[in-house]
């Protein structure tokens, strides 16, 4: 039997676990978004990073989604800078760095797998990714602050 990448996740709460057998070829998509509800005239109050793992065949469609991970940054980002992270360069930098980190973590897991580790624990890794996300956002905030001072 060939070795499949298996994700372990808590998709429905603390009282359940999901086992997701990943296909050989899948896509990882990172998106920084805010919680604004412009249709109901509600301004954003927080940022969120959504990491989506999808099948490649129909990766643009919701039915191809294998699982999603939601990470809420702990770094305090002023609301007036949300656009910098949602649609501007700072956010693109964070998304690209997160994507590289996630790919690296999965690759390292696969190449160092032993008999004791049977699944890639998304909860465990999402905690690590959250810390890394906070570091990236803090670095981008410093860059934005420096360019604003100049």
What pLDDT is recorded for position 58?
A: 67
Give a yes or no: residue 1 inside a domain: no
Give a yes or no: residue 110 inside a domain: yes
Give a yes or no: residue 4 inside a domain: no
The DSSP-derived string for the chain is -----EEEE-SS-TT--EEEE--SSEEEEEEEEE--BGGGTB----EEEEEEEEESTTTTSGGGEEEEEEE---S---GGGHHHHHTSHHHHHHHHHHHHHHHHHHHHHHHH--TT--SEEHHHHHHHHHHHHHHHHHHHHHHHHHHHH-
Give a yes or no: residue 57 inside a domain: yes
pLDDT band at 27 (very low <50, low <70, confident <90, very high): very high
Higher local confidence (pLDDT), 61 or 87: 87
Number of compact structural domains in the chain: 1
Give a yes or no: residue 115 inside a domain: yes
Give a yes or no: residue 2 inside a domain: no
User: Measured between alpha carbons, how far is 150 from 141 in angstroms, rounded to an integer?
Assistant: 14
- Domain of residue 26: give its range: 10-149
Give a yes or no: residue 3 inside a domain: no
Give a yes or no: residue 48 inside a domain: yes
pLDDT digits (tens, 9 = 90+) for 73-128: 999 999 888 889 998 999 999 999 999 999 999 999 988 877 677 789 999 999 99
pTM: 0.86
């Amino acid at each position: 039997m060939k070795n499949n990448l298996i994700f372990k996740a808590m998709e429905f709460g603390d009282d359940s676990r999901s086992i997701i057998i990943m296909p050989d070829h899948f896509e990882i998509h990172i998106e920084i978004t805010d919680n604004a509800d412009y249709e109901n005239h509600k301004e954003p109050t927080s940022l969120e990073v959504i990491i989506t793992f999808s099948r490649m065949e129909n990766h643009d469609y919701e039915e191809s989604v294998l699982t999603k991970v939601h990470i809420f940054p702990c770094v305090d980002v002023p609301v007036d800078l949300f656009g910098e992270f949602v649609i501007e360069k700072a956010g693109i930098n964070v998304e690209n760095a997160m994507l590289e980190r996630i790919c690296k973590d999965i690759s390292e897991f696969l190449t160092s797998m032993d008999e004791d580790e049977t699944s890639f624990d998304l909860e465990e890794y999402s905690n690590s990714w959250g810390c890394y996300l906070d570091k990236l956002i803090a670095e981008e905030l410093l860059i934005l602050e420096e360019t604003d001072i100049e």
